[in-house]
Amino acid sequence: MAYQKVTAMNVQELVALTSPYRVTTQIPEAMTHDALNVVAHEPDVIIKPNNTGEVAAILRYANHRNLPVIVRGGGSGLNGADVAVEGGILLDMHRMNHIIELDQDNLTLTVQPGVTIRDIQTYLDNTTFFYAPEPGQGLDSATIGGNIATNASGMWGLKYGGTREAVRGLTVVLPSGDTRILGGKITKNSSGYDLKDLMIGAEGTLGIVTEAILSLRPKSPVIKSVLLPFDSANRAISVIPKILHAGVTPTSTEFFGRRITKYWEQYAGKQFPIQIGAAYLLMAFDGNHDSAVAADMATAVSLSQNNGGLVPYPLDTQEKYRHLWRIRAELLPAIQNTTSELTEVDIVVPRSRVSELLDYIHVVEYEEQVRLPSIGHVGDGNLHTYVCRDGLSDTEWPEMRDLVLKRLYAKAAELGGQVSGEHGIGYDKKAYFTDFMGTDYLKFLKSVKQIFDPNQILNPGKIF
């Protein structure tokens, strides 16, 4: 697809639609890539819209002139989804950062898309409510717009689901400039096609979210957490279905191995709190009554012990709890710290097949002589595997990366999984996604895109 380049005249006209103070052709380097820098490209112009009306005016303008439009939230994505790979207009949503309404009776929070997840948590600190999807604890930049566009999930996904489960309504501007309200404060809806759910996870390719109605939950007065060490990863992972069968749904089940905690020790310059175990499950449980939550945790601990678990490490003080969950949040930076460059693979498989996936990752590591440290929300069947460049040359690295990704995605297909559980396809994974789903399915997806965006101006070069 050939696009027009934004001209000086276009910039003047875009200023007239917005404000000279919020349109710039001086492009900061940070706005040319996302967190993993898998692809970098400058937009022609950056605009910081103030409201839905401005977003609509910009899209209408761009649509008539064949100018690409890319939306950027916090830039914390991992697949280059917010990079202006074709140039064009980058909409930086940071000014649309208002929390509009807390509706206690309907348990909703209405927000603009540039509000960060951190802002939401801080706002709710003084209330009795919480917003459950919290991707990347300790990650300050991720916005709700970015979370919605990637259907982000996080540590609490096992019990409370991901972003899709927590969004009730959206205001969306389509590439034509038309504004649509999808869903609302309602808790159920059987009224025609659910386009809200289509927008969630669309990676900014179908419409721009300018307002969201989020579902809140009352805070659980009791939260308990424990670190369970095991002598093998398979033992750790295979206990999770047993815990769920016993009628216990942990709030979270985070998996990592001893190798990763060693990386963290190097990164943090501190010792990991326990030195036993080859693999760990960091689990949390919440509820209204201390005795019920304690009983759930005791059941999980006992099942773990029967499954080869070693001595558990209860996080029975605020200090221990905060420390361990902070460590969990630092595992990705700790892995990044061990290598010059890495690629992230976000495969999701049925929960019962995670062990097979992990075994296969070890086989690939051995056969290809490449480092593939893995961590993940294993209760959700979601493993994050990091392909580390280490000493590979400029020619060896892309070849190795491609080989490893192809092998891992082929295994994911065999196990009944998918390319991405929560990070999306973006720019980086689109070729693999096409291979994975097949051209017929991709043709079908493109026909959906065509309905929303016949001129293909919105976030070109992403997903397919």
The residue ranges that bind ligand FAD (CB under 6 A) are: 34-35, 70-78, 81-82, 93, 113, 135-136, 139, 141-143, 145-147, 149-150, 152-154, 203-204, 208-209, 332, 422-423, 459
| Number of neighbouring beta carbons within 10 Å of residue 219 | 13
- Parallel/antiparallel/unpaired status of strands 89-92 and 45-47: parallel
Question: From the centroid of its chain, how far is CA 315?
Answer: 26
Rounded Cα gap, residues 339 and 328, in angstroms: 19
User: Among residues 117 and 310, whose Cβ is nearest to ligand FAD?
Assistant: 117
User: Among residues 208 and 361, whose Cβ is nearest to ligand FAD?
Assistant: 208
Find the residue with minimal CB distance to ligand FAD.
146
Rounded Cα gap, residues 363 and 381, in angstroms: 19
User: Among residues 342 and 364, whose Cβ is nearest to ligand FAD?
Assistant: 342
Least distance from ligand FAD to the Cβ atom of residue 201, Å: 10
Least distance from ligand FAD to the Cβ atom of residue 396, Å: 26
Element spanning 280, H or E = strand 279-287
The two structure tokens encoding residue 330:
């630092």
Least distance from ligand FAD to the Cβ atom of residue 320, Å: 22
Residue type at position 105: D
- For the chain, what's the residue count? 464
Structure-derived torsion over alpha carbons of residues 140, 144, 146, 152, reported in degrees to the nearest 10? 90
Task: Answer for the pair 334, 410: CB distance below 8 angstroms, yes or no.
Answer: no
User: Among residues 92 and 286, whose Cβ is nearest to ligand FAD?
Assistant: 92
Rounded Cα gap, residues 130 and 109, in angstroms: 10
Least distance from ligand FAD to the Cβ atom of residue 327, Å: 13
Least distance from ligand FAD to the Cβ atom of residue 57, Å: 16
Residue 315, helix vs strand vs coil: coil
Phi, psi for 74 (deg, rounded to 5): -90, -5
User: Among residues 257 and 424, whose Cβ is nearest to ligand FAD?
Assistant: 424
Least distance from ligand FAD to the Cβ atom of residue 9, Å: 26
Least distance from ligand FAD to the Cβ atom of residue 60, Å: 16
User: Among residues 304 and 456, whose Cβ is nearest to ligand FAD?
Assistant: 456
User: Among residues 10 and 147, whose Cβ is nearest to ligand FAD?
Assistant: 147
Q: Which residues contact 26 (CB under 8 A, 6 or more apart)?
A: none
